[in-house]
Structure 1
Amino acid sequence: MKIKNLEVIKKNLYFLSQLSREQLYVKVKEGNVHFLNTNKERTIIADFSINEVKNEEEFSFKLGPLFYDIFSRIEKGSEAYLDFNKDKVICNILYENIEFKSALNSQKGESLDFPPYTKDNTFKISGSRLYHGLNLLAKFKSDLRLQTKNDELIITTQNPNGNMEVKIPSDMELKDKPVKGSIYDYEIIKHLLNPSKISKKVDLNLSWNDKINDNVLVVTFHSKNSENTIKYLFTPKGNLQ
């Protein structure tokens, strides 16, 4: 398949590499290809999906860091093609009269799936507004408390110098009862700032997880320049997947 928007996939692969450059998980399913990654503690999972795959067969495998290295060095103006097989990815890159072709083999290891979650408590906001709010919250460099009340998502943070509260209204009536607050590590902000800056809209969702007896935060970013999305799942502070 030809990559329709090379800059979009390069940026999103960079976001995935911020979790870890040691691995990249690939899953082809229902005409979509998913690039997934997780941090060492497995408290964050990210899923970047593109819907340009023609493979009817479904499979998943794990790649090493070379895929990140290749795409981070592709020059602007290049054409990139990807073909997916059961155990490898074929990369074909054209730049002026130069052609680069490589086959990246899968590595041993488990696959990675994005966990299921409910979508009843979903808040939609423009990427630019979320970026502005996160930029202000980031100045406190403290953990974030998220809760819902009166069809609003409320994010609060505080440190010895003061506190801040950001309220995001929902564009739909919430189906569930108000969600009690869950605490998320300050570090999640760095994974939200840059994606929100280049997104036309963002979905924020608090979903109850029986396994950890707490809420997980799922954030989906919709790209300005394509139909592709990247979504993150954040586990509350103190809980592991």
Structure 2
Amino acid sequence: MLDRIKKRTFEGFKEFVLNMETTGTTSRSQILMAGILEDPIFMTYVMKNVRTFEDFIDLPSDEIDTVIKTQEQIIGVLAKCIYGMPEDKILAFENNIPKHISKLKDELSYLKEVTPSEKEGAKYFILKIVRKLQQQEQIQGFKWHLPPQDMFHPKILKDGQFEIYFETGVLAAEGQVLKGKRSDAWKHFYDSGKLMAEGQYNDGLKTGVWVIYFGNGSIKAQGKYKADLKHGQWR
């Protein structure tokens, strides 16, 4: 999965981050897990850059104003985003957009109910606009924390015992390499050092039973892989 992204270097990295920002929670978790098992260091950089609506409301008021001015319906979308938020957070956001307080309050008064999926979709809509304006250099937007250039180049795996470390020095993964590909038993770890996943590889592909753990050591998921794809029922 990550090889295709890395081939496009920084452009591919930024596009991947944007996709992660606007992907549903379940799908994002699945992509995140697959990416971490493939390259935990690269995915650490990805998650450093993924932003949420909460990051948007912390932008300078002039940049938020620029976002609002892009489309007439933006205020209505923002109302869905902040619907149900604690009053102090809503007030803080309103104070950050003094030119639009009246209209935002009107939109909030019209809303009777906002479903979780509607709220999620509204937040993704705002993030897409922010990223587009940032790309067009109309706003500064969110600061990028880009990985070093060499992280985009494929690493040649040497046969034998192989270990991958986080930049902090904590072990990220360990296992066997055969003919330049992952083989046999591998273990993957959280940046806290706790076991995150363990299972088998064959010719570089996940195979057989895999167990995924929460950070506290309890089992999060367990099931089989066949040629790197989930196979059968997982629990």
Common topology (TM > 0.5): no
More helix by share: 2
Q: TM-score, normalised by structure 1?
A: 0.27
Q: Report 1 or 2 for greater relative contact order, CA contacts < 8 Å, sequence distance ≥ 6.
A: 1
Relative to the length of structure 2, the TM-score reads 0.28
Structure with max Cα Rg: 2
Q: Which has the higher strand share?
A: 1
